[in-house]
Structure 1
Amino acid sequence: MPGRWTLDKSRISEAAAVVFHIPNFREIGDAYKYPGQYWVAWSMESRQNYRRLADPEIMKHFDITMTYESRSDVWAPYLPRIRWWEETFARPIPLKTEIAPVAHFQSARLNYSGRVDFAAELSRHIKIDSYGRHLNNRSILGPDLGSKTKVGTIARHRFCLALENSIETDYVTEKIFDAFRAGTVPIYLGAPNVSEFVPTNSYIDANAFRDAKDLVSYLQHLIETPQAYEAYFAWRARPLPDGLVKRLQHLETPTFCRLASLVRQRMEDRADPPAGKPTLPFGRISFLRTRFRRWQKKVPS
C-alpha cells in the first residue's frame, strides 16, 4: 500500500492519518476528524513546557503519539544518527584557547530545571562566557551562522553548560550533543536517564555534586590535571555502548517512515470498515475561536 505525506490542509478528508504539532495547539481547534482517520500527536517539547501533552482531556482525541519519550508509539528523540557519531569520532579535539573555562548558550527563559539559578551560582565561583541572550556577557566572534557558530565557539572552551529547560525522563536535547561535536566536556543538568543516550564517562553530571563550590573544585582539578580532563574524551576511541547502538539502529529508519508503517499496520488490522460522520473533537466553541483568530490575521490593521 503506497503512501505519501502532504502539507495541503485542503486534503485532510482524504488522509488516513493527520499529524498535529501539539505546541501549535491553537491552530488545530477547528479540525474535523473523519471516520477511520488516525490523529497523531507530535511534539519534541517536554510535558512541563507544554502541559497539553499531559492533559487527558486533550490527548484522548489522538490515536498515536510521536514524541521524545521512548514509550511513544513512534519514538522521535533528539539523538543524532549513526553517521553523526562517526563524523564526530573523526573530528580532532580543538585547542582550548579561551581564558574562561566554561561556555554557556541560553536564550530562552524557560527554567523548570532550575538552570538559571544553577548557572548564576556557578558563575560566582568560576569564569563563564555566556553567549546567549540570557545572562549574556560575551559576543560571538564573526557572523552568526547558527549551529556551526555555536559549536565552533564551544570548542574553544574546556567545558560547556548543557542545561535542559526542564527535567523529564528521555528529554535529552541537542545541548549535550553540541558539546560532543565541539570536542569539549559538557556539564549536564537534565534527564535522569541521560546515560542511556550518551557514551560512558563523556559528561559531568551536575547533580553529582553537593553544590556549585563542590562542582567548581572538581573542574579546577580537571584543569590542573590534563590526564584526568582528557579521560572524558576516551569514549571517542571506543565502540559505543551496545544499548546506545541498538537505539541508533532503530532510528536509522526515518521517523515519518516508521509512522507510515504503523498507520499502515493499524489499517490492515482493523476488522470493520470505518463508518459515521466527521466530528469536531474539540467542540464548536473551539472551532469558532480558531476560525475567528484566522480571520483576524487576514484582516489588515
Structure 2
Amino acid sequence: MQKFIYVSSLGQCWHNRDMYLGGEAERYKKKLNIMSQFKFCLTFENGHQIEDWVTEKIFHSLRAGCVPVYHGAMNIEEYVPCEHCYINARDFPTVKELADYLIYLDGNEEEYKKYLEYKKKP
C-alpha cells in the first residue's frame, strides 16, 4: 500500500514513525490518542482467513474515532456496530484500488463523514 499512499507505521513491522506509549498504565490511552490523529487506521488481523477471529484491533480504531481499514475475519459484519463504520479491504480487488478509495475519501469530507455517522446513533 505504501507504493500508492503514505502509511505511517508505528509498530515494529515497516517502522517509519516513532511513538512513545509509556508504561502499561497509560499505554491504552496513549495508543488511542495517537490513533485519533489519523482518518484511517489499518487493522489487519493475524488470522485473516478465519471466521470469528476478531481481536481488539478494529474496536481500538473505532474507539479512537478513525475509520478502520479492516482485513481479517470473514464475518466481521457480525461484530461491528454497523455495516458502514469500517472499510473492508476484501472489497477491493487490488491494493491500488483500496489506496485510490482512501485517497478519494481523504479528499471528499462528505463521503468520509458517512463512515462516522454511526456515532450519532444511540
Say whether the 8 Å CA contact 1:170–1:194 is kept in structure 2: yes
1:157 counterpart = 2:38: yes
Larger Rg: 1
Q: Secondary structure at the match of 2:14?
A: coil
TM (normalized to structure 2)?
A: 0.91
Say whether the 8 Å CA contact 2:21–2:31 is kept in structure 1: no
Which amino acid counterpart does residue 208 of structure 1 have in structure 2? D
Which amino acid counterpart does residue 164 of structure 1 have in structure 2? E
Q: In 2, distance between residues paired with 1:231 and 1:141?
A: 32
Residue 15 (structure 2) aligns with: 136
Please give the residue correspondences for 1:216-235 in structure 2 after superposition, counting only pairs within 5 Å. 216-235=99-118
1:177 counterpart = 2:59: yes
Please give the residue correspondences for 1:1-301 in structure 2 after superposition, counting only pairs within 5 Å. 122-141=1-20, 143=22, 145-167=26-48, 168-198=50-80, 199-239=82-122
Structure 1: stretches of 5+ with no match in the other structure: 1-121, 240-301
Say whether the 8 Å CA contact 1:164–1:190 is kept in structure 2: yes
Q: In 2, distance between residues paired with 1:186 and 1:231?
A: 13
Query: Does the C-alpha gap of structure 1 residues 201 and 134 become closer, same or farther in structure 2, counting only changes over 3 Å?
Result: same
Residue 12 (structure 1) aligns with: none
Identity over the aligned pairs, expressed in percent?
Answer: 36
Structure 2: stretches of 5+ with no match in the other structure: none
Residue 292 (structure 1) aligns with: none
Q: Secondary structure at the match of 1:176?
A: helix
Please report how far the alpha carbon of residue 238 of structure 1 lies from its aligned counterpart in structure 2 after TM superposition.
2.1
Say whether the 8 Å CA contact 1:159–1:187 is kept in structure 2: yes
Q: In 2, distance between residues paired with 1:166 and 1:157?
A: 24
Q: In 1, distance between residues paired with 2:90 and 2:83?
A: 16
Q: In 2, distance between residues paired with 1:181 and 1:238?
A: 15
Please report how far the alpha carbon of residue 135 of structure 1 lies from its aligned counterpart in structure 2 after TM superposition.
1.2
Say whether the 8 Å CA contact 1:200–1:235 is kept in structure 2: no
Q: In 2, distance between residues paired with 1:232 and 1:142?
A: 28
Say whether the 8 Å CA contact 2:61–2:67 is kept in structure 1: yes
- Ranges of 4+ aligned residues in structure 1 off by more than 2 Å: 141-145
Which amino acid counterpart does residue 219 of structure 1 have in structure 2? L
Q: Secondary structure at the match of 2:17?
A: coil
Deviation by residue 1:88-128 (Cα, 9 ceiling, x = unmatched):
xxxxxxxxxxxxxxxxxxxxxxxxxxxxxxxxxx1111111
